[in-house]
Chains A and B, each alone.
Chain A
């Protein structure tokens, strides 16, 4: 019992010492949208990841358009998008009817405190893509 009384506060101090201030981290907003028309029978995916490739969030769009709004701690991220052909109806989860990775694109994005940043997945002919950050 004594051991727990001492260790728990110690652990809390250690963790808060590593994590910095207990106040909430400053946040900004990242909007991800789409430009261009996705080819029929393609499922689209969007992942927001840190620059260390740690995924923050990932969304599937079996029926585009891509539309996503994410609150993020201020910092540097990468928006990654890719698509896969579908046999018929694109599934919202699972592998059924999905073909191999077709196209992949991405771009770095910086989210500053209190700001709103837009990233647009620009879809070209045949499902080619690029990510534009405004």
Chain B
């Protein structure tokens, strides 16, 4: 009898733990596979702007937003904005390039790509904004998508990929209403701390789930689907 009671208690505790685990929000960790730039202290990355005037203000704001992290102090540099440069959006070694172009009716609003130099270290990154979907979008969506794609190049994934869930107040959240999702939130800055507050011999954050990712050799691409 005592044994049976003990087992009943065990079952109740196990069931409670199972329910609690299942209810854990998706945004608990949104590191993109633990990928990060190798550096000591804060990162000082160069972000090459290959965007037209329709996006340049958004990129400037996004850079300022992300630089509020204690681990990022990046610089924007003007670069080639010809249609060829924006279409190809080549990866600059040790830096990031941001581009906009009418990439086509392919289903994605933004595409971020990183190349790995060793293990989980990022060696270069690109962020593409697809004007096929975004040219007619409002100012809030422009800001949110730009913030999100640039955020990916630092090693952040999405916090949530359900367009219909309530807004989380971060650009790393899928939404049908970008009005309150244009900038990073505290959780993003905390995640950057988790990713970058380590010596590079230590393990970084856990793999992210819920994000469409394609790995081709040492290149990893994360997709932001159009709503």
Contact = CB atoms under 8 A, between A and B. Distances in A.
Interface in A35-70: 45, 49, 51-54
B41 interface: no
The secondary structure that dominates the B interface is mixed
B186 interface: no
A6 B4 CA distance: 9
Interface string A1-22: 0100011001000100110000
Interface string B95-118: 000000000111110010100000
Given A49-B212, A100-B217, A105 B7 contact: no
B92 interface: no
B108 A105 contact: yes
Interface stretch (B62-70, B197-205, B219-227): B219-227
A105 B107 contact: yes
Interface size class of A (residues with CB under 8 A): 20 to 34
A5 to B, nearest CB: 10
Interface in B2-39: 3-4, 7, 11, 14-15, 18, 22
Contact of A2 (B3, B217, B223): B3
A72 interface: no
Interface string A86-121: 000000000100101101111110000000000000
Contacts of B166: none
B213 interface: yes
Given A98-B216, A129-B106, A104 B221 contact: yes
Nearest to A79: B107
Contacts of B221: 101, 104
A103 B4 CA distance: 60
A128 B162 CA distance: 27
Contacts of B161: 51-53
Contact of A106 (B7, B14, B107): B107
A90 to B, nearest CB: 13
A86 B18 CA distance: 47
B107 A14 contact: no
Contacts of B216: 84, 98, 100-101
B210 interface: yes
A8 B94 CA distance: 54
Contact of A14 (B11, B212, B223): B11
Given A6-B7, A51-B162, A104-B221, A14 B18 contact: yes
A102 B219 CA distance: 11
Contact of B217 (A18, A49, A95): A95
B211 interface: yes
Nearest to B111: A104
A100 B210 contact: no
Contacts of A17: 15
A18 to B, nearest CB: 7
Given A53-B161, A130-B104, A98 B212 contact: no
Interface of A: 2, 6-7, 10, 14, 17-18, 45, 49, 51-54, 78, 80, 82, 84, 95, 98, 100-101, 103-108, 124, 128-131
